[in-house]
Structure 1
Amino acid sequence: MLAGRGRPSRSWLCAAILPALVLGACNDPEAPPAPEVRPVRVLTVGELAGDETVSLTGTVQAQVEVNLAFRIDGRMVERLVNVGDTVKAGQIVARLDPENERNAVRAARAAVVAAAGQYDEARNNYDRQRQLLAGGWTTRVRYDQALQQQTTTQAQLDGAHAQLSIAEERASYTELAADAAGMVTQRSAEPGEVVRAGQTIVQIARKDGKDAVFDVSAQIKDQAPANPLIAVSLTMDPAITAEGRVREVAPRADPATGTFQVRVGLADPPPQMRLGAAVTGRMRLHRDGEIAVPSTALIGGEGGPAVWIVDPAGMTVALRPIEIARFDQTRILVARGIEPGEIVVTAGVHALRPGQKVRLLGAAS
């Protein structure tokens, strides 16, 4: 009986092990979840064809801007114009303290008087020696000395006159005059300052003509037709318009923006197109072979701008770097990176990752 109590029966062991096996089977790990499929809106891109109007914003500037400066050093005692003032050709715009130059003129005039007196004396002496030599009452040596003295004093008198002209010219430099009609656009010195020769006092925009100045991308610059006609209008009032031709294109791109400055000479601009006014320029371009995508498709990648491209075979997305030709209000013109017929994600771009499966909500071409 004791031996029978210490050894459990086989039926009892089976009853104890069976529930444990059932519980272990219930605790097996679950199967991995299916990959997430992200719904996206897409566009099947195609090439643009035909002409297109390109619009750019710029400003009105003078064709010629002149920096006026004194030709001598001195203390400026008067500036007669301010920014925005209209000046005429020959109008005095600033003055230096003229006292030193006036004294130099007085000294030069005194030197002319002294040199003239010496010349008169030498000339009279020469005349006497010439008459005496003709009568045999003097020597040839004295005659030659009188002739040399007259020549020397004549040269001294000529030099004194030259110094007087220089002094009078420098005295005229104390007044700074406008060389042409225009408008003062900048001032760089105030009365009481000691200014250097060549230091800008005021800047004047001449009235010879006006330019509409634009910053143009390299793609538009390269694709523009020869000598295009540019329609220019005021940005705040498009009814005020003018036409112009490209007058100057910068040979180098701006290092910060990568754009080229283009100056369009305006033909008979209306008075409302004042200097500094914002204007819009429009030009027609032939657009064969370009690709456009909505601006919502653009995303910033590590290497620059990029878009998500859908692989129709596996319905997955990949990030594709692109080169942008230009922007407009609703779309991006792509220079390189996308081929016609490819599918581009246009909505939901910030919720994607490379290789993610997607479900297309809409596709258009």
Structure 2
Amino acid sequence: MVRTTAIQTDGSALHRLSGTIRARYETPIAFQVGGRILGRDIDAGQRVMAGQLLFSLDPRDLNEAVNIAKAQLATTEAALATARSELKRQKKLVADNLISEFELERFELAKRSAASQRNAAKAGLEQARITRSYAELQAKHSGILMEVSGEPGQVVSVGQTVAVLAQNGKRDVELFLPDSRQPPRSGVAKLNDGSSVDLELREIAGAADPASRTWRARYRITSIKDDLPLGSIVQVQLTSEDTEQDTLVVPLGALDERDNGPRVWRVIDGHAQPVSVQIIGLGAEQARIKADLPPDTRIIALGTHLLVPGMAVRTHDQ
């Protein structure tokens, strides 16, 4: 007994898929300084507004850095005041012809050096204050927190993700497509409320997933649908504009590549008969072929390497 299956037209496996509503922009959130998390003011799934406090670090080390910068600024300002006073005194000596102009240049250089050090210390204090402000991590955009991994007491490094924010605004539909063909450019998604929205391909992963052999694709929702619930499942029908009308899809197990080239097997009057085919592309589970066979023709799906022309077989449809 052999199992048979119906030949499909190319792209039929892509016509209806399940997709997931995703935010157009999903931003990893991280501190710009390292330290120990002191407070966490949010939870996963919570809506937040731009500017809202999310996390805070222990500020003691950052406060100490500001104090050190203040002390450095005070020291350089005192040095600058001394250099200015000394330069003023030396100018009087030049006026009285007690020292030369050449000697005066040394004090002018010292004053300029002290001014530069003061400016550097002033900039260092400003930078220390800015760094201290990084101890409070605020939302840069309004949206929903999809993930929250940071916990009070946890020591985090610079750039370590502590949450993921799905920004309010545009939405995409994320799909995983078989690797046997390029993704269609457009489609339609049916929402849970029964309405439909048009889709346009926005991005496609650079490589197929090595485990599932699928391509991750994101389709933009062309209409304004900013309130769609994130993570909800929608039914998607894609439009294959570039599909060749005579290209067919068969299971990999239906291909027989012995002897005289690739072929598939039909059952005619209870006997197996081969039909030559041209292979267009191979996927993880299916093959795209060209053959002189109409769509929906039933062919033997498994065990074709055991068949010979005219062999008597009994069929079991799938």
Q: Fold conserved (TM > 0.5)? A: yes
Among 9, 28, 32, the residue aligned to 1:67: 28
Give, in angstroms, the shift of residue 217 of structure 1: 2.4
- Once the 2 structures are TM-superposed, how far is the Cα of residue 202 of structure 1 from its aligned partner? 0.7
Structure 2 residue identity aligned to 1:335: R
Aligned residue number for residue 32 of structure 1: none
Q: Does the 8 A contact of 1:101 with 1:171 survive in 2?
A: yes
Counterpart contact for 1:240–1:272, Cα < 8 Å: no
Structure 2: stretches of 5+ with no match in the other structure: 258-262
| Superposed displacement of residue 310, structure 1 | 2.7
Aligned residues: 301
User: Secondary structure of the equivalent of 1:357?
Assistant: coil
Superposition map of 1:311-330 within 5 A: 316-317=271-272
Residue 211 of structure 2 aligns with an amino acid whose one-letter code is: A
Find 2:162's aligned residue among 201, 207, 211.
201
Is the contact made by 1:47 and 1:288 (CA closer than 8 Å) also made in structure 2? Answer: no
C-alpha separation in 2, matches of 1:336 and 1:231:
27
Cα distance change of structure 1 residues 155 and 325 upon mapping to structure 2, 3 Å threshold: closer
Task: Report the CA distance between 1:139 and its aligned residue.
Answer: 4.3
Of residues 159, 166, 177, the one that matches 2:138 is: 177
State the distance in 2 between where 1:209 and 1:336 align.
Answer: 39
Counterpart in the other structure of 2:260: none
TM-score w.r.t. length of structure 1: 0.68
Secondary structure, aligned partner of 1:221: coil
Match of 1:262 in 2: 217
**How does 1:1-365 map onto structure 2 within 5 Å?**
54-140=15-101, 142-219=103-180, 221=182, 224=184, 227-228=185-186, 230-234=187-191, 237=192, 239-268=194-223, 270=225, 273-285=228-240, 288-291=245-248, 309-310=266-267, 316-317=271-272, 335-336=288-289, 339-340=292-293, 344=298, 354=307, 356-358=311-313
Equivalent residues of 1:290, 1:334 under 8 A apart: no
Q: In structure 2, give the amino acid aligned to 1:245.
A: E
SS at 2:20's partner residue?
Answer: strand
User: How far 1:325 sits from its partner (Å)?
Assistant: 8.9
What CA distance in whole angstroms lies between the structure 2 residues aligned with 1:144 and 1:283? 80
The gaps in structure 1 that reach 5 residues or longer are 1-37, 327-331
Letter in 1 for 2:123: A
- 8 Å CA contact 1:325–1:335 kept in 2: the answer is yes
When residues 154 and 97 of structure 1 are mapped into structure 2, their CA distance, relative to the original with a 3 A threshold, is same
Distance 1:320 1:57, change over 3 A: farther
State the TM-score, normalizing by the size of structure 2: 0.77
Q: CA RMSD in A?
A: 4.1
> Do the aligned partners of residues 139 and 208 (structure 1) sit closer, same or farther apart at CA in structure 2, a change above 3 Å counting?
same
Identity of aligned residues (%): 25
Distance 1:191 1:111, change over 3 A: same
Tell me which moved more, 273-282 or 212-221. Answer: 212-221
